[in-house]
Structure formats: structure tokens, C-alpha cells
Structure 1
Amino acid sequence: MRAIRQVLAEILEGSGKNVNKGRWLDAVLVLLISINIIAIVLESVSSIAQAHKQLFIWIEIISVAIFTIEYFTRIWVSVDLEQYEHATDSPFKIRIKYMFSPLALIDLIAILPFYLMFFINLDLRFLRALRLLRIFKLTRYSRAMQLLLQSFKEESNSLLAAFFIMAVVLIMASCGIYLLEHDIQPDKFGSIPAAMWWAMATLTTVGYGDVVPITPVGKFFGGVITVLSMGMVAIPTGLLASSFSEQIRKRRALFADHVHAALEDGKITKDELMKLEELRLNLGLSKLETKAAIRNELNANSQLNYCPHCGEKLNH
């Protein structure tokens, strides 16, 4: 039983000897999620929903069945995951810990709306909206999304500081435009909360144009806020772009370190090459990047083995 569980863990995580099977499973699940999202969107059109009602029902039933099997299988095999390899907790505690991990919660959200409707009388439109949350399951298979989430995690303190500054500017802009425009346009700037709609649209540089200042001083103030908003929006954008780039650099460096370790004996064996390929997939690197990393390490290793002056092979 344990051997079966370990094989399933490798397939679900796309690791070890079953990395190729894991890739095929990921492709099938990504296709199924995509079909679900398209079906949920099309089902919101009344004419299409009525014409293909049975098809949508079967897509929902089959999808939920597969997602449910996947969810409970992942919980069962979680004790064999690499991240819990050195855990001292009991298998039960490890499985509970896994159930509260972000990816496991996303998997639960994907199937929960279907089962909730058997116990709670939910509005159909609300149920459709909940089912659309299945798109977050793509996070498990998208390395780019994982990079972005890691960037959010590492820059959380800086982002919170940036959003705090934006909140302060938002309140100041709302108060300022309220004082300048509420007598002239009481229907649009009659209160500070009402003025916040204009402030939010201006600070995010969206500028819907449905609410605009009409007094000269109000227009000047609006211009200042618009110019200021460019810098405000650039702060979190710059932080995320910098962190995203740093995450990619770290992954490339990690892969290069593994290549360097594999080349300590001067060659890369078949098993080492398989492990490097598995690492490449986990890190979300392209084959071109990894080939360049291996080539660079081979060149560096070759230079270390030969004298740079006479070209003779050095004896270690």
C-alpha cells in the first residue's frame, strides 16, 4: 500500500521516476479546468444554458468527481511529499497540516460549491460565481503564478507600506475635493465617502470621467492628484516587477548550483540528468535556459581542468 502511495505522490507532484506521468496528468487537469471555466461562462447565457443543459450538468458532475478524487488522493499521499520528509509529526497531523496549506484550500474551494447546494439553498448566480473560483486551481500548474505569489509573499511588508501611503493619499484627496466641490456639485461631492469614488478613479489613473471637478481650484487640485497618482501606482508595480525578476534570478542560480554539483566528477550521468530535468520543471525554467546553464558550467569546468597558459590538462 505504501509503494502505491509513493508512486501516486510522485505522479501528483511530477517528481522522481514518474515525472513524465505527472506532466501528462497536469496537462489533463489543466484542460479539465479550462473546460470548466468555459462551461461556467457560457452557462451564464440563458439561451445557451437552456439548449445545452444536460451537457453542462455532465461536465459539472464529471469534473467534481475527478477533482474530489484528486483532492482526497493528495491528502492521502501528503505524508510522502518532499516538504514533509523530515517531519516528526504523525501521518494524521501531517495530513491535517496539508489540508490547511494554500494549494489544498484552493482544491477544496473548487469542489465545495457543488456539495454545498445539497445542504444550503444557494442562489444559482452566487453558485456560478463560486464555481468560477476553480480558475485558482491553475495556480498549482502555473509556474508564473507561483512566482507572482512568492513575490507577493516576500514583498508583503513593502506592499503593505505602499498601500498604507495610498490609503492616506486617498483620504486626503477625498477630503480636499469635498471641500472644494461639495457646494457646487452636492449630488457628486456631497460627502467624503461619495468623493472617494472620484479620488479612487483618479489615483488609479483610470479616470472614468463620470465625476469631475468643474471649479478652477478643483480642476487644479484634480491635476495635482493625477500627477501624484502616477507615482503612487508605480510604487507597488515597481516592487512586484523587481521581486518577480529576483525570483527568476534565484531559480536560475539554484539550477546552476545543481548543475555544478552534478559536474563535480566531470560528467553528468543519466540519473543526474533526469533529476535536473525534474528540477527544471519544478522551477518553471525553459529548456533553452537550462541548456545554457549546463553549457556554461561545462565550459567553466573545462577551464579549471586545463592550464590557461599552456593548454595542458591539469592533474588533480
Structure 2
Amino acid sequence: MNAHHPLRRRLFLILEGHSHKDPKAAGVFSWVLTLMVLCSVMAVILESVPAIEAQYGQSLAIFDAASIVFFSVEYLLRIWTAAERKPSTHLSDHRRRLRYVLSFHGLIDLLAILPFFLQALLPGLDLRFLRVIRVLRILKLSHYSSALEDLMAAIYAERAAFISALYLLALSILITACLMYYAEHDLQPDKMGTIPDAMWWSIVTITTVGYGDVTPISLWGKVVGAFTALSGVFTVALLTGIVASAFASRVRTHELEFATEVEELLKDGLVDSLEKRTIEHLRRELGITEEHAQAIVRQILEEKSRMGARD
């Protein structure tokens, strides 16, 4: 059994943005974290411009050091308060902290400070590689949005259809690349001289990017090109439709979960202060808009009222 720790619980709710006792503190921290992440990413982008780096390099380095301190303290606090995450009698504080460290959010929080320690341990490391890692700090904003998790969960739920669509896409790329190689390799040996070269053309055509760096010359090449472009429309539309449908189903599932939980809470047809806080926590956790949540609560209360009137 884990010991009750009021301060740790309070900090956990503030860091997660779900504190009912300190809503202002939670709001201020979420805004400060968002601002620090956006400014940090912008600093990395500006640092890659030679003229800006030459003139403001020292200021950008100071800001980066300050952001490292901020993100490091935040990371340590999240590890400490992770013991309050999903309380369970069969998991110790250490196990809960380890689960956070190895979770998606934990790894992203680690990536936010990792470049500093990599540069300290490996001074000769490529700065461009470190910049790429630092830009990944933008993913820290997923603490306040479940969009990425919902997208991954939606794709996983429709993984069979998604894999089938990817198979069709790969098949289209391979077949059209081989046909284009056969039609154009003599006419454009520098661009279509090998099947891998033709596959590059097929990929940019099927995905409708169409860089224009390679165009078919022969009649058969143009026929293959037209077929490739049409197959790209179909396969990309298929993938897009699967993802969109899966994401919509995920959102609908969240709405049903919210409605079910609220209906259980409002069995008596009344809403007290504790139930209001619980409903608000559920709304934030499931990503339901405030207006939609209010509509669901009103509908449930009206149904309860009509049932009470009949009785």
C-alpha cells in the first residue's frame, strides 16, 4: 500500500492540468510549458540560419540553457509525482515511476533534455542531429492533447484494413516502377536506368507529389504514367478514408464512454460539486469539448427527469 502524499498529489494534478483545487496554477503551468516549448523550437529553427546564429548565437545558447533547466526540473517532478498516476494496490511507487519513464510521454520528456547531456558526453556529435532531437520538444504538447494517442489507437484498431491498403500501395509502386523502367530505361538511362530509380518516380507520382524532375517521353511511358497517377488517387484516397473513419470511430467511442460514465454518476438526477469536478475531469481526459459535454449532461438529466415524471 502506498502512503498518502498530499503535496505530491497536488503537484501531479497541476502538472497534468487537471487540478480542481488549483485550477489557476494548473492553467498557468500549462501556458508556461506551451510557451517554453514553442519558443524553444523556434530558437532551434532560428539557430540553423547562419546570419541569425552569428548575431544572436550567444542569446540563443543562454535561452537553450534556461529551457534545459526548466524541462529538467519538470521531468524530475513528473518522475516523482508519477507515483500518483492511476493508483493501484498491486503497483509500488517505483513501478509507477518506471512505467512513466518508459511511456510515450516519459520518453518525449526525456528527449527534450537529452541533447544537452549528449553534447556534454559526446562533444564531437553532429549539431544537426542534436537540432533534430531538440525540435522533437514540440511533442511535449501531447501532455495536453490526446490527438497522437487517438490517431495511433485508431490506426491500430483498423490495422488489418490499413495493412491491406499499404500492401496495395506497395504493389502499385512496384508494378508501375517495373513498367516504367521497361518503357523508359533506354530513352532516359540517367533517370530510369534502374528499377530503384523508377521506383522513386513511382512513389512521387502515386503520392501525387509530382516533383516534375522526371517525365515520361515515350507513348508507353505516358500510358504507364497516366495509370500510375490514377492508381495513386485510388490508393491514397483509400488510406485517407481508413484513417479518417478510424479516427472518427475513436472520437465516437470517447463520447460513448463519457456518456456512460456521466449517466452512472447522475443516477439520482442531481449534480453536486463533486460530480461536477468528476465530469470535468472525464471531459478533459477523453478530449470532449465543453459545449458537447454540457449537451450530453443536459440530455441525460432531461431523460432522468422524464423517467421520474412517468414514475
Contact residue 17 and residue 144 of structure 2 kept, 8 A? no
Q: CA deviation at 1:224?
A: 1.1
Contact 1:6 / 1:80 at 8 angstroms: preserved in 2?
yes
SS in 2 for 1:243: helix
- Among 92, 95, 118, the residue aligned to 2:94: 92
Amino acid at match of 2:256: A
2:159 partner amino acid: S
Q: Of 163, 168, 171, which aligns to 1:168? A: 171
Deviation at 1:264, TM superposition (A): 0.8
* Count of residue correspondences: 306
Match of 1:136 in 2: 139
Q: Map residues 137-156 of structure 1 onto 2, 5 A cutoff.
A: 137-156=140-159
Q: 1:211 aligns with which of 211, 214, 233?
A: 214
Structure-2 residue corresponding to 1:116:
118
Q: Which residue of 2 aligns with 1:310?
A: none
Displacement, 1:157?
Answer: 3.8
- Tell me the distance in 1 between the aligned counterparts of 2:26 and 2:45: 29
Amino acid at match of 1:81: R
Per the alignment, do residues 19 and 231 of structure 1 end up closer, same or farther by CA in structure 2, a change over 3 Å counting? farther
Indicate conservation of the 8 Å contact 2:12/2:81, yes or no.
yes
1:70 counterpart letter in structure 2: E
Query: Which residue pairs with 1:79 in the alignment?
Result: 83
How much has 1:87 moved relative to structure 2? Answer: 5.6
Inter-CA distance 153–71: structure 2 relative to 1 (3 Å threshold): farther
Hey, what does 1:297 align to over in structure 2? 300
SS at match of 2:271: coil
Asked if structure 2 preserves the Cα contact closer than 8 Å seen for 1:30 and 1:141, the reply is: no
Residue 48 of structure 1, aligned match among 40, 47, 52: 52
Are residue 258 (structure 1) and residue 267 (structure 2) matched? Answer: no
Structure 1 range deviating more: 173-182 or 149-158? 149-158
Deviates more, 1:8-17 or 1:224-233: 8-17
Letter aligned with residue 140 of structure 1: H
Contact 2:12 2:82 in 1 (8 A): yes
Tell me, yes or no, if the aligned pair for 2:16 and 2:144 is still in contact at 8 Å: no
Change (3 A) 1:248 1:10: same
Asked if structure 1 preserves the Cα contact closer than 8 Å seen for 2:19 and 2:26, the reply is no
TM, length-normalised to structure 2: 0.92
Answer yes or no: is the 8 Å Cα contact 1:155–1:243 preserved in 2: yes
Cα-to-partner distance string for 1:44-71 (whole Å, 9 max, x where unaligned): 1122222222321121111111111111
Task: Note the alpha carbon deviations across 1:228-249, whole angstroms, 9 max, x for none.
Answer: 1111101221111011111111
Q: Work out the CA distance in 2 between the residues paired with 1:225 and 1:283.
A: 41
Question: Partners of 1:55 and 1:134 in 2: how far apart?
Answer: 19
Q: 1:28 is matched with which residue: 32, 39, 53?
A: 32
Partner of residue 182, structure 1? 185
Name 2:196's counterpart in structure 1. Answer: 193
Q: Is the 8 A contact 2:115 2:133 kept in 1?
A: yes
Contact 1:140 1:146 (C-alpha < 8 Å) held by counterparts: no
Percent identity, aligned pairs only, is: 36
Q: CA 1:28 to 1:155, structure 2 compared with 1: closer, same or farther past 3 Å?
A: farther
Among candidates 221, 233, 238, match of residue 236 of structure 2: 233
CA distances 1:11-41 after superposition (whole Å, capped 9, x unpaired): 2223353462333322211111011111111
| Superposed displacement of residue 10, structure 1 | 1.8
* 1:154-205 alpha-carbon deviations (Å, 9 max, x no partner): 2334323322221122111111110111011111110001111110011101
Distance 1:245 1:194, change over 3 A: same
Task: Give the direction of change, closer, same or farther, for the CA distance of 1:101–1:39 in structure 2 (3 Å limit).
Answer: same
Whole-Å separation in 2 of the counterparts to 1:207 and 1:39: 32
Secondary structure of the 1:285 match is coil
1:108 shift after superposition: 0.7
TM-score under structure 1 normalisation?
0.91
Partner of 2:249: helix, strand, or coil?
Answer: helix
Give the counterpart letter for 1:80 in structure 2.
E
In structure 2, C-alpha distance between the alignment counterparts of 1:163 and 1:4, rounded to whole Å: 49
Counterpart-to-counterpart distance in 2, 1:136 and 1:87: 31
